[in-house]
Amino acid sequence: MKEKIQEIKKDFDDNLKSVSDLKALEELRLKFLSRKGQVTQLFDAFKALPTEEKKLYGKEVNVFRNTLQTKYDKLKADLEAAKVDEKDVIDLTLPGRRKELGSLHILSQTLYEIKEIFKSLGFSVYIGPEMESDHNNFEMLNFPADHPARDMQDTFFINDDFLLRTHTSPVQVRLMETSKPPLRAIMPGKVYRNEAISAKSYCLFHQVEGLYVDTNVTFAELKGTLIAFAKQYFGEDVKYRFRPSFFPFTEPSAEVDLWWEPKGKEGRWMEILGCGMVDPNVLENCGIDSEQYTGYAFGMGVERIAMRKYGIDDIRVFFDNDKRFLTQF
């Protein structure tokens, strides 16, 4: 009996040392002090002893149980006290566990925003190749060979017949050649200009071309459509103006300026797009009767629009792809 008590006591003490929370303490209680626990079993064994032996061990067993119970109670009290503190220890000011977020380039976002507005106005969306023929990029669009109008768009030539498109307008040609009016579409994509890279210009940029050809298209409708776009994209109070300009493929032609007041600077007009009524020569080149059909076309620079919207003053940041820039959008 004595050995048994010693054995249980040692076992209990060993177990007690490793108890660090209430859950483990409860396991300890179940093992030793519960109704099926070792101490209770020891009592059951004690009860079965002959009387004289009971006398011999009675006190010892009782003391033993009380000692264990006291140790248990003390630890329980300590752990419970410590448990209250644990809540204070949780530091919710720590940043949460997060995942890397992805993003679309701001030019893609801008392009898709523009696209959504025009889709809601009944436009389809077409694309075409960036490497184009001189024929589609210039000739069909009423830029005669050896005409100063060609100087308006500095061109990367591949050879006499091929080039990197200088505008998305050749997609107009492709569309008009393959489909019959009514045609209403926008045509976004990359375009190239052979200019030195600076804060104001890059060797490529993104354009959204628009075209509408039908039997009753007027400049008034062009104006209404573009104003609707400007208001929806930049807000109801956007200030704009249409002024005469020149593009070989439209007549009459216009440019649209938006009023811009950069932070802390004087306000000024900023050119945002070119537009006009499709030149009859272009319609005829594409096999469309220019007496029966009229059309309008426009082309806007996506970079310009994003710069105006977000207050970016250097076009190169779009193509540097610095993570600190990308994560802003």
Partner 1 sequence: MKISLNWLKEYIELNDLSVDEIEEKLTIAGLEVEEVIDQNKIFENFVIGYVKEKHKHPNADKLSLCIVDDGENELSVVCGAPNVDQGQNVVLAKVGAAIPGSDIIVKAVKLRGEKSEGMICSEKELGISDNHEGIMVLEGDFTPGQSLSDALGLNDVVYDIDITPNRPDALSHVGVARDLSAMLNRELRKPVVELEEDEIESKKYAQVIIENAEACPRYVGKVVTGVTIAESPGWLKKRLTSIGLRPINNVVDVTNFIQQELGQPLHAFDLDQLAKSKIVVKSAQSGEKFVTLDSKEHEMSEDNLMICDGEKAVAIAGVMGGENSEVTVDTKNILIESAFFTSASVRKTSKKLGLSTDSSYRFERGTNPDNVVLAARRAAQLIAELGNGKIAKGEIDAYPEELKKLKVKLRYSRIERILGYFIAPDKVQSILNSLEIPVVGSDDESVTCEIPKFRPDIEREVDLIEEVARINGYDKIPSVDRVNITLDPKIDQTQKGENIRYALKELGFREIITNSLLNNEVAKKFGKPISSLNPQTIEMTNTRTSLIPGMLTTISKNIKVREVNLNYFEVGNTFISNNEGEINSFDDITEHENLLLAITGKQRDDEWYGKGRAYGIYDLKGLVQDFMTKIQLDKETRYQYNRQNNSIYEQSIELFVQDVQVGIGGELSREVLNYFDISQKVFLFNIDLDVLRQFEKKERKFNDLLKFPKVVRDFSCVLDKKVKSEKVISVIKKSTSKLLKSVKLFDIFESDSLGKAKKSLAFQLEFFDETRTLTDEEVSKEFWKAIESVKKEFNAQLRGA
Which 91-120 residues touch partner 1, going by CB under 8 A? Answer: 94-95, 97-105, 107-108, 112, 115, 119
CA-to-CA separations, 75 to 41, 72, 88, 151, 213, in angstroms, rounded: 23, 5, 21, 91, 88
Nearer to partner 1, 188 or 299 (CB): 188
Question: Pattern 32-61, binding to partner 1, x per CB under 8 A?
Answer: ------------------------------
The residue within the footprint of partner 1, chosen from 30, 77, 125, 199 (CB under 8 A), is: 125
Nearer to partner 1, 38 or 133 (CB): 133
CA-to-CA separations, 258 to 75, 130, 230, 234, 261, in angstroms, rounded: 77, 29, 9, 10, 10
H or E element, residue 317? helix 317-320
Nearer to partner 1, 68 or 300 (CB): 300
* Torsion sign over Cα 23, 25, 31, 36: negative
Question: Pattern 277-296, binding to partner 1, x per CB under 8 A?
Answer: x-xx-------------x--
Interacting positions 17-36 with partner 1 (CB under 8 A): none
Amino acid found at 127? I
The answer to whether 213 touches 278, Cβ cutoff 8 Å, is yes
Interacting positions 139-158 with partner 1 (CB under 8 A): 146-149, 151-152, 155-158
∠ CA 149-155-161, rounded to 5°: 95
Smallest separation, CB 303 to partner 1 (Å): 10
Nearer to partner 1, 68 or 306 (CB): 306
d(CA 232, CA 120): 11
The tokens of 58 are what? 């009675």
The residue within the footprint of partner 1, chosen from 9, 65, 76, 190 (CB under 8 A), is: 190
Number of residues that bind partner 1 (CB under 8 A): 86
Smallest separation, CB 126 to partner 1 (Å): 5
Interacting positions 160-189 with partner 1 (CB under 8 A): 161-162, 164, 182, 184-185, 188
The tokens of 6 are what? 């010693």
Neighbouring residues of 103: CB distance < 8 A, sequence distance ≥ 6: 326, 327, 329
The residue within the footprint of partner 1, chosen from 30, 63, 82, 131 (CB under 8 A), is: 131
Residues facing 253 on adjacent strands: 245, 276
Residue 197's CB: how many other CB atoms inside 10 A? 12
∠ CA 267-233-304, rounded to 5°: 55
The residue within the footprint of partner 1, chosen from 121, 270, 312, 317 (CB under 8 A), is: 121
The residue within the footprint of partner 1, chosen from 21, 197, 200, 309 (CB under 8 A), is: 197
134 interacts with partner 1 by CB under 8 A: no
d(CA 277, CA 298): 9
Interacting positions 217-256 with partner 1 (CB under 8 A): 218-221, 223-225, 227, 241-246, 251-255
Q: What is the DSSP secondary structure assignment for residue 258, as one 8-state letter?
A: E
d(CA 245, CA 253): 5
Smallest separation, CB 239 to partner 1 (Å): 13
Interacting positions 62-81 with partner 1 (CB under 8 A): none
Smallest separation, CB 315 to partner 1 (Å): 12
The tokens of 324 are what? 């600190």
The residue within the footprint of partner 1, chosen from 69, 133, 238, 312 (CB under 8 A), is: 133
Smallest separation, CB 32 to partner 1 (Å): 36
